[in-house]
Amino acid sequence: MQLHRSKAKFEGNGFQIILVGLGTFDQAEAFKKRFSISLPIICDPEKKLYRTYGLGRGSVASIISPAFLFKGLKTLSRGHSLGSPQGDIMQMPGVFLIGTSGNIRYAHYSKDPSDNPSIDDLLALKDVFQENVSQVSQE
């Protein structure tokens, strides 16, 4: 998991990573153990946070898009397994950077389950926080 491998970089730039997942507490603990992840996970099987942050459900086309299938094959080719999905497989993910005041400073609404900003792009956003800009970026 890219975020976990980059945890020190994020923390060194003043970010704290918190994952949100659709699974239960037991499923989150099993996920953390399986992938040796030390990041905190908020369990949201009822999708309250997903709705609060405006993350919708995808279409069948979004979960079988060429980009998503390509990334899945690329993951498999590196020897990683995809695992079985937990919760609503149509729920689209997102990435949010939230300031200490609780305001969303950056929002990325994924077009498919594999659509995530790069680690470098997220780390470059540290300037958004340092310059005290309150504009939300949506892609």
CATH topology of domain 2-130: Glutaredoxin (3.40.30)
Domain ranges for the chain: 2-130
C-beta separation of 104 from 97 below 8 A: yes
Cβ neighbours around 51 below 10 Å, total = 11
**pLDDT over 50 at 139, yes or no:** no
What are the pLDDT digits (tens) for 61-110?
Answer: 877 777 777 777 776 777 766 566 667 888 988 998 887 778 888 899 99
Once rounded to an integer, what is the mean pLDDT over residues 123-131?
Answer: 72
Counting residues of the chain whose pLDDT is more than 70, the rounded percentage is 83
Once rounded to an integer, what is the mean pLDDT over residues 1-24?
Answer: 84
Once rounded to an integer, what is the mean pLDDT over residues 28-43?
Answer: 90
Question: Cα(135)–Cα(27) distance, rounded to whole angstroms?
Answer: 35
Q: What is the pLDDT of residue 63?
A: 74
Q: What is the pLDDT of residue 138?
A: 44
